[in-house]
Structure 1
């Protein structure tokens, strides 16, 4: 994760349609704001998904902040998938997200790049990035004494990483984007507020059992098991991770041998029998 609050800025020109900007300003406080902002950002930095959030100081919360999801939109991505992923994120993962833990409460403008490839195998990576086919993310945040606003840009697996030049353009436009975002957030209802829940998805149960039993699965063995647990077939899992079906089947056999299970149903049940794990 690259964190650089003093990110370089210059006066290089970048593509920006003032007509598009006008449409964003016109949409402040309406449901059209995030989709129009996404189109504007896509002119500056090609992207697939945009997420907008606001965190306000709230000492009654475990993190000291009340996190509000303002909205998300996409370019060439299924909006229902984006919505499902973000609903899951704010219900389950926001409080433990290392990226935001590193910038929460900091003052000024910050640009952070998440190294998705370095995220350890587990439900967080599997459900928020691997299954959503997201490979690259950078977050621009601005914090004051009372709140922090952030704009996250994401790219799909078939897109290249964000370049320094692209991130520099993204950083430059923050001076007029964040005032618009703050005005919109103050005049419209949040789509969702982070509410951690005690419910554990079968994949989270599986992760807990692996940790408790100190079992070592290879990256591919874990990925295959994770896809099976979340309802994929072996051929579907093979296509997602980019291997032949026969190769995927060999991963299944090796993983099942280590876990002492024979079927997908056994695999799910195995994770649910972790001692001390409470599921509500």
Structure 2
């Protein structure tokens, strides 16, 4: 199947169904596998890594890299035994001063000493404060690198994939911080999140990460001051995010949001 035809197919119901499945699996162990399944149909890839970087921007260094998911034919992609320090990673320089989302292409290099460096890769990167969410797609060096058309398609798709990646990372952080909560509370929150993302997908509405956080906070019974404290922002900022989300959803306030959630 040609890439041009494939891109056209993304307007069809199958693409949105698969995107909805990906959205509903944010924070789930199958998230990376679902992303691989979705992207591979339009741009052939063998492996996807999802990672979250924490940077010390004042000292131009990496504080931590967490792998938040991985899926694919790992046996086709060699991983070097000796790894350089994180601060020597080839992605770091471009990620330090970024303001807008990036697409970073790295062609396969023989005898690379960096993780996956001997494979062709396309990295989609977003920024939230000192964190960087990274989606890395790989091809083995025996295959051709990513074409300009494929890179352009992935850049367009990044508008959807990167916010989902940010949400995936956030859910995993929240799960880590709330491990002591009763299991039934966590289950209820997970079910509500999945239903919320499913409704967004069916409505073909895009909310920012902050707008999603505020909507979910209100739907789970949180107050404006509580959500503001949790997100470390002012109450007025929460009100602004809610107004923006409500305008996109075509509702008014918390009650309208609840009605939208149940399809009323």
Give TM class, smaller chain: 0.5 to 0.7
CA distance in 1, matches of 2:53, 2:117: 22
SS of residue paired to 1:103: helix
The answer for the alignment partner of 2:162 in structure 1 is 178
**Secondary structure, counterpart of 2:132 in structure 1:** strand
| Counterpart secondary structure, 1:24 | helix
Residue in 2 aligned with 1:108? 100
Maintained 8 Å contact 1:45/1:166? yes
CA offsets, 1:91-123, max 9 Å, x none?
A: 754321123333234111111111333x6x46x
Aligned partner of residue 137 in structure 1, secondary structure: strand
- TM-score where L is the length of structure 2: 0.53
1:71 pairs, out of 59, 69, 72, with 69
Q: Is the 8 A contact 2:50 2:134 kept in 1?
A: yes
Shift in alpha-carbon separation, 1:181–1:128, aligned structure 2, 3 A: closer
Query: Structure 1: how far apart are the matches of 2:129 and 2:146?
Result: 30
CA-atom RMSD, angstroms? 3.2
Write the deviation string for residues 184-234 of structure 1: whole angstroms up to 9, x where unpaired: 1011169xxxxxxxxxxxxxxxxxxxxxxxxxxxxxxxxxxxxxxxxxxxx
8 Å Cα contact 1:107/1:144 also seen in 2 = no
Give the equivalent residue in structure 2 for 1:45.
43
Query: 1:209 — aligned with what?
Result: none
Question: Distance in 2 between the 1:174 and 1:43 partners?
Answer: 16
> Partner of 1:159 in structure 2?
143
Deviation at 1:71, TM superposition (A): 1.6
Judge conservation of contact 1:143–1:149 (CA < 8 Å) in 2.
yes
Max radius of gyration: which structure? 1
What is aligned with 2:30?
32
Q: Which 5+ residue runs of structure 2 have no aligned equivalent?
A: 1-5, 175-264
Question: Shift of the alpha carbon at 1:85?
Answer: 3.8
How many residues of Structure 1 are paired with residues of Structure 2 in the alignment? Answer: 165
Partner SS for 1:173: helix
Structure 2 residue corresponding to 1:54, chosen from 49, 52, 55? 52
More relative contact order in 1 or in 2 (CA 8 Å, sep 6+)?
1
> Offset of 1:166 from its aligned partner?
0.4
Contact residue 62 and residue 87 of structure 2 kept, 8 A = no
- Pair 1:27–1:164, CA change in 2 (3 A): same
Output the CA distance in 1 between the equivalents of 2:74 and 2:51: 19
TM-score by length of 1: 0.50
**Residue 97 (structure 1) aligns with:** 89
Q: Which runs of 4+ in 1 moved over 6 A?
A: 59-62
Contact 1:34 1:73 in 2 (8 A): yes
